[in-house]
Structure 1
């Protein structure tokens, strides 16, 4: 586990953008899982500015998670956020990315579809995640085992409450569908990106608490190439 601090969110975002673009240049056929949310948006914007000359035609981008029951055109969906901030500006073909179909009537089969895609491509080269205030990674909430591949979860109340910020109107949320922490552990490189003072306490717990599914983010202590990249505010307690 490697911890890096950057002076502010802009510097952090630029470093993340450079890392991802370098990865694609060095391995054009890379398989990546990308998160949504507020934290990576600036990094994605910078990639779209820097990446005009990068060939994305051989890579595969997979969305980290989705709110069950929320469609892809909703402003709060993972697909919408990543498409609007990164995939569409770079004109990346839909053949080169996929997201969970959270409206599917058979979510178990949807999990198996994404599992098969990842495993058929030899596992993940890179996964980037944010962190919830309760330590959740993707929608792997406290208590879910590190041994899960893609799966459906019951959302914690904190996640439901915080999740409302992504929607223009109140949206019922109860379950998530997510890449599991077993995929993260098996990825060649896993990056946790966090910014802002409100993340400082959970970042401190992530790096210093006993490894446990009760704090999902402690999984990074087990990763052979786990990167925790923070701005100074998020890293202020470590």
Structure 2
């Protein structure tokens, strides 16, 4: 496990984007696991800027997103499909037929979840998985108590997650369920980058890196992976050493 400290949020996010760019250059057909959220916005801004500068191409890449709200159509601007389109996919040269996001409207969610797992395997597995961390230690939407061996499935969202995400829904309660990659799916990735920024993530980062490995803090499962890097700004990483 590597812990990388940066003085500012922007510096941490840009360093993550530069790591992704480095991996794309080394392996043009990279399979990316992607995350959404405010934390990731400067990462995608930097990647778009580097693409527009002619420094990187996504033409050979594929991507699988971590999660999606149940009940939101992909056309809803609050959906993670719409978010990824507007922040990255529509702004670079990636083939959108190779960008995959869980289907929050699947008629048979269990069958779709199994198919999502199969698609990841058929793509050769995820080379580089990008993660954030929730204030309660969740990764993807694997909430406290999640089985470390869990695969893609529909989950009920924790009250703290609903509260944290309500800002994106005008203060209203977000959808109470999501389809998410499981912790077992995430741990299959060859490399994992966790980006955490801001003082609101400090407690979760400390618990994930120094607390007992336990489903009570799902992100502690990452300590069982051989190739994980944490990328922290001054506020999120104030309680952990490099």
Q: Indicate which of 142, 147, 150 corresponds to 1:148.
A: 150
Flag structure 2 segments of 5+ consecutive residues without an equivalent: none
CA distance in structure 2 between the partners assigned to 1:217 and 1:181 by the alignment: 9
Pairs aligned (count): 238
Mapping of residues 1-238 of structure 1, within 5 Å: 1-52=1-52, 53=54, 54-168=56-170, 170-238=172-240
Q: Distance in 2 between matches of 1:113 and 1:25?
A: 29
Shift of 1:131: 0.7
Q: What is the Cα deviation at residue 79 of structure 1?
A: 1.4
Contact map agreement 2:152 2:179 (CA 8 A) in 1: yes
| Dislocated runs of 4+, deviation >2 Å | 52-55, 73-76, 167-172
Q: Is the 8 A contact 1:39 1:195 kept in 2?
A: yes
CA RMSD of aligned residues (A): 1.3
TM-score, with structure 1 as normaliser = 0.96
Deviation at 1:172, TM superposition (A): 4.2
Decide whether the 8 Å contact of 1:194 with 1:234 is kept in 2: yes
Query: Shift of residue 91 of structure 1?
Result: 4.0
Q: 1:88 aligns to what SS in structure 2?
A: helix
Residue 101 of structure 1 aligns to a residue in which SS?
Answer: coil
Question: Deviation at 1:167?
Answer: 2.4
Q: CA deviation at 1:227?
A: 0.8
Q: Is the contact made by 1:197 and 1:233 (CA closer than 8 Å) also made in structure 2?
A: yes
C-alpha deviations, 1:45-90, integer Å up to 9, x for none? Answer: 1100102333322211111101111121223222122211111111
Point out the more displaced range, 134-143 or 112-121.
112-121
Mapped partners of 1:183, 1:34: distance in 2: 13
Whole-Å separation in 1 of the counterparts to 2:185 and 2:193: 13
1:39 counterpart SS class: helix
Residues 127 and 184 of structure 1 are in contact (CA less than 8 Å); yes or no, is this contact kept in structure 2? yes
Measure the CA separation in 1 of the matches of 2:182 and 2:136.
Answer: 17
**What does the per-residue CA deviation read over 1:123-174, in whole Å, with 9 as the maximum and x for residues that have no partner?**
1101111111110101001111110121111111111111112224624421
Provide, for residues 179-215 of structure 1, a one-character-per-residue CA deviation record: whole Å limited to 9, x for no partner: 1111221111011100001111111111111111111
* Structure 1 SS opposite 2:91: coil
TM-score by length of 2: 0.94
- Tell me whether 147-156 or 160-169 shows the greater mean CA deviation: 160-169
Distance (Å, rounded) in 2 between the aligned partners of 1:172 and 1:34: 21
Any conservation in 2 of the 1:21–1:51 contact (CA below 8 Å)?
no
